[in-house]
């Protein structure tokens, strides 16, 4: 079953580089509606829990350090086929492999500092959204 929601974060690099507005414009222009949104700062414990699936990967320490070094924008987005369409909109993990016009091609620096997160399944979209938002914050 597919749901119509996904979860995203505008990561610290894109916030530092002043790309919040441009990225939100790309997201809404692509037809996504904002169901929930906040400007927040992950603690080390938050980032370790959020990315627990990567805890054995060699880049885990670097990933946690990066994701906690400054504020992020977290959001739940709504659109038909949200997870797949949003992954297409952001492009490949490594911006040098991302398609022209994708958010990572436009705004990411490298494979580690890649501007945005997008959930990779409906199940993870629901888990990740609930990680960041209480039910009363989702519209």
Q: Which residues are catalytic?
A: 117
**Does 17 participate in binding ligand RTP (rule CB under 6 A)?**
no
Write out the H or E segment, with its range, that includes residue 77: strand 72-78
Contact 6, 118 (CB under 8 A): yes
Contact 68, 9 (CB under 8 A): no
Q: Residue 67 and residue 44: Cα distance in Å, rounded?
A: 8
**Does 85 participate in binding ligand RTP (rule CB under 6 A)?**
no
Q: Which residues pair with 34 in a beta bridge?
A: 77
**Does 68 participate in binding ligand RTP (rule CB under 6 A)?**
no
Write out the binding residues for ligand RTP, residues 97-136 only, by CB under 6 A. 111-112, 114, 117-118, 120
Between 99 and 139, CB nearer to ligand RTP: 99
Q: Pick one of ligand RTP, Mg ion, none as the site partner of residue 118 (Cβ within 5 to 8 A by kind).
A: ligand RTP
Residue 38 DSSP symbol: E
User: Rule CB under 6 A: which residues touch ligand RTP?
Assistant: 54, 59, 63, 93, 111-112, 114, 117-118, 120
């Amino acid at each position: 079953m597919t749901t119509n929601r996904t979860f995203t974060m505008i990561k610290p690099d894109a916030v530092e580089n002043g790309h919040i507005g441009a990225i939100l414009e790309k997201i809404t222009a692509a037809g996504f509606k904002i169901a929930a949104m906040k400007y927040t700062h992950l603690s080390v414990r938050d980032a370790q829990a959020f990315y627990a699936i990567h805890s054995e990967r060699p880049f885990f320490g670097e990933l946690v350090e990066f994701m906690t070094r400054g504020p992020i924008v977290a959001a739940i987005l709504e659109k038909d086929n949200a997870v797949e369409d949003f992954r297409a909109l952001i492009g490949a993990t490594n911006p040098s492999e991302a398609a022209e016009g994708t958010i990572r091609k436009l705004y990411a620096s490298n494979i580690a500092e890649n501007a945005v997160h997008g959930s990779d399944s409906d199940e993870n979209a629901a888990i990740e959204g609930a990680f960041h938002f209480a039910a009363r914050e989702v519209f």
